[in-house]
């Protein structure tokens, strides 16, 4: 009896994944296209060295530039080498990984509009707050 329930749940999950696959692939293609078309040197020109403004700009750019956590170390290091402030890089990377404007339509479709918008909004706000706290904490170290 228990094996039938597990097999049924696995089959149902598999078909749900197959149903989502075209949408997920199209989102991955859009993200790849965006990352390819926007040069990393553009980010360096946008930041102003103003703490509050850089954290907001970093969060905005990270929100529309979806990425993977693994590559965030490389991009963060390159941005720091290029002269972008730590607060901007921190805000950018946090929102880059947690906020997903590009994935928002799929998230709203599968998880609900309220959840999708609320999660992204809170992730955006917390990216700014956490970046400010990280830089503040590092000043005391």
Residue pair 68/75 in contact (Cβ under 8 Å)? The answer is no
- Average pLDDT for 78-85: 82
Model-wide pTM > 0.75: no
Rounded Cα distance between 62 and 99, Å, is 7
* pLDDT the model gives residue 5: 85
pLDDT tens by residue, 15-73: 988 888 887 787 677 767 766 776 767 766 788 878 889 999 999 988 887 667 767 77
Domain boundaries, the chain: 38-139
Rounded Cα distance between 89 and 75, Å, is 9
């Amino acid at each position: 009896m228990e094996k039938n329930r597990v097999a049924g749940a696995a089959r149902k999950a598999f078909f749900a994944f197959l149903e989502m696959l075209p949408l997920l692939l199209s989102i991955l293609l859009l993200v790849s296209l965006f990352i390819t078309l926007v040069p990393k040197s553009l980010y360096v020109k946008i930041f102003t060295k103003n703490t509050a403004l850089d954290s907001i700009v970093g969060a905005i750019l990270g929100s529309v530039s979806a990425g993977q956590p693994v590559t965030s170390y490389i991009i963060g290091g390159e941005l720091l080498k290029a002269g972008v402030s730590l607060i901007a890089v921190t805000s950018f990377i946090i929102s880059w990984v947690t906020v997903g404007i590009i994935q928002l339509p799929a998230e709203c479709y599968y998880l609900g509009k309220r959840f999708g918008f609320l999660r992204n909004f809170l992730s955006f706000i917390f990216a700014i707050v956490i970046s400010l706290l990280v830089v503040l904490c590092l000043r005391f170290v």
